[in-house]
Structure 1
């Protein structure tokens, strides 16, 4: 039963209980179970990007959407230090609704993807080979048919400073009809229906960039490239790829 407040002789309320209450640690906000599970998957994906060499330190970021809530990696925090208590979430306007850590500086890009596509997860990296390609060509040459898994030839979004609305606008144009693109002098961004799909697309994009750089580096030889028609054929075949439930 709650302890009643007592009036002192001079009519003031007893502040002893208030002091005891104030000294207790603040109760943490209740996090829905689905958000807590998604946060755990998000942290695992972020750590995997470091393990797989797609990110150095905290140079990339990952997000996932559930309803109108977007969970994002916080700015400048090493992924191996993230805990369930570090959950960081914003609404689709960017207003922080979960956690106290500052969201990733690339939040404008993530939110732009969610506002304009059916994405449920976004992965951004500074992968070496993909970033190298971004400074060489305006579009990744069609060196492999897996470009079809990203919707077609992978475009390079023109450079803009990180964390800006300008960069988000360039990215959206490069993503038109695609689920991934390169960011000039910067890195990659991909999205998908799940964290796993978004991550796999990032890994495939980095692999294709590495393949093209390797093939094009052989003196005296030029890599053979696929035609748009050949890529379209693969796109149709990929629609039936995998196990059917």
Structure 2
């Protein structure tokens, strides 16, 4: 497969060009914008201390194409020509770099949810919590933003179908989970939302670890009823469109 920039795909592949040049150009522009956003988010995971080196990965869905970070490439080296895309079956349709080894996990989310973006990190506090409990205790009401108490998916080899399956069970009715001895996964209707959920999850894990570290003291926890009230209130959160 020739090295390709988003928007210059083979007209026959359905992601660019084709019988309608205008539609092909629009699709190509959408892929190019999404790739730029993906790279910016991947670099932000490093800057915010959520990953080290090339660990973690980010993906964005554009139609039937899933753009993903490549395996083992430093994010600050990625350019528009390095775009990597696969279809929902994992077949590579864009680029020459090898997709992230966690591709099964990303695709599992897209196949079973309406997600438009997925963020996977090795955040320090979240990973520490994943080794201690089967579920993040309800130490803060922002658990409601992820659908409820955040579960820990049992450990499995990275990049495996087993890990993807464990993750899906932990994500049932949730938009984020912890991966035991591994890290975090969150998704959203936008890349910004998925990233924000990752940051919130890491922050909540840090709060619980900090409070739990005090000798002879235990942090107060919310009840499921209190969390339900928060979930209801969050439905009206933010600016209302006129």
**Does the TM-score normalized on the shorter chain lie above 0.5?**
yes
Structure 2 unaligned spans of 5+: 10-27
The answer to whether residue 239 in structure 2 is matched with residue 243 in structure 1 is yes
Partner of 2:230: 234
Give the distance between the partners of 1:67 and 1:167, measured in 2 at CA: 25
Local SS of the residue matching 1:97 = strand
The answer to whether residue 159 in structure 2 is matched with residue 154 in structure 1 is no
Q: Which has the larger radius of gyration?
A: 1
Match of 1:205 among 196, 201, 204: 201
Local SS of the residue matching 1:76 = coil
The structural deviation recorded for 1:169 is: 0.2
Partner of 1:170: 166
The structural deviation recorded for 1:27 is: 7.7
- Provide closer, same or farther for how the CA distance between residues 27 and 206 of structure 1 changes in structure 2, counting only shifts above 3 A: closer
The structural deviation recorded for 1:244 is: 1.2
Q: Which runs of 4+ in 1 moved over 2 A?
A: 26-29
The answer to whether residue 53 in structure 2 is matched with residue 51 in structure 1 is no
Instruction: State the aligned residue count.
Output: 220
- TM-score between the two structures when normalised by the length of structure 2: 0.90
Partner of 1:131: 127
- TM-score between the two structures when normalised by the length of structure 1: 0.89
Give the distance between the partners of 2:206 and 2:149, measured in 1 at CA: 15
Deviations 1:164-206 (A, max 9, x none): 0000000000000000000000000000000000000000000
Local SS of the residue matching 1:137 = coil
Partner of 1:18: none
Partner of 2:13: none
Give the distance between the partners of 1:27 and 1:201, measured in 2 at CA: 34
Alpha-carbon RMSD across the aligned residues, in angstroms, is 0.9
Partner of 2:20: none
